Amino acid sequence: MKRNCPKVSSVSAIKRNDEPEEAKPIEGKPLRVNSMVLIPKKRNGKERLMFVDINIAGQKRSALIDTGASNFFLSEKAATKLGLPIRKSNSKIKIVNSEEAPTMGVVQNMELQIGEWKGNEDIEVIQLDDYDYVLGLNFLERIQTVLYPWADQIHIVTGPLTKIVVSVHQDMKVGGKVVIVNPTSR
């Protein structure tokens, strides 16, 4: 092949090195893996939580997006405040590092809106300490949601070529408190 090359003098040899180089993390800089850039989960050294505005029972509320949670959960306090009927159920919930406990019940066929998406959902009512509305992974998967935390968006897929883009906001958790961060100031 080399003999038939018209510009044989301009062909240079490519040195092959089969030994992998050891990757050393550089503090404060994103790591590179081939052509991908791995962005750290934390921004400015702080853990961030993702929230989306929802409309439930005609009221605009902010819900925590929690991929570690299973379903859509509502605090008993919020259900009572909104005047939602709680139907008793035999459901139980297992929270990390705690015993399995019964739920307070379920709010059935509740109209819910996230951005332009609308649907009727059964919402588990449980004891929640920090947040009144929690959207879990099974719920997000059921409504075909794709998370884009770096873009402060979620996309709800509504068809093969259609989606609803919904803005989210991220807040920093400092100790046990949540500090609101203005997304335009980043």
Please report, for the domain that includes residue 138, its CATH number.
2.40.70.10
User: Is residue 16 included in any domain, yes or no?
Assistant: no
Give the model's pLDDT for residue 91: 86
User: Is residue 81 included in any domain, yes or no?
Assistant: yes
User: Is residue 34 included in any domain, yes or no?
Assistant: no
Question: Total domain count for the chain?
Answer: 1
Give the model's pLDDT for residue 27: 53
> What is the C-alpha to C-alpha distance for residues 49 and 53, in angstroms, rounded to an integer?
14
Q: In this predicted model, which residue has the larger pLDDT, 7 or 61?
A: 61
User: Is residue 90 included in any domain, yes or no?
Assistant: yes
User: Is residue 80 included in any domain, yes or no?
Assistant: yes
Per-residue tokens: 137: 């992974």
Q: If pLDDT is split at 50, 70 and 90, which confidence band does 177 have?
A: very low
User: Is residue 100 included in any domain, yes or no?
Assistant: yes
Q: If pLDDT is split at 50, 70 and 90, which confidence band does 97 have?
A: confident
Residues of the chain above pLDDT 90, percent:
49
User: Is residue 21 included in any domain, yes or no?
Assistant: no
Please check the confidence at residue 9 and state whether its pLDDT lies above 80. Answer: no
Q: In this predicted model, which residue has the larger pLDDT, 186 or 2?
A: 2
User: Is residue 40 included in any domain, yes or no?
Assistant: no
- For residue 161, the enclosing domain spans 45-185
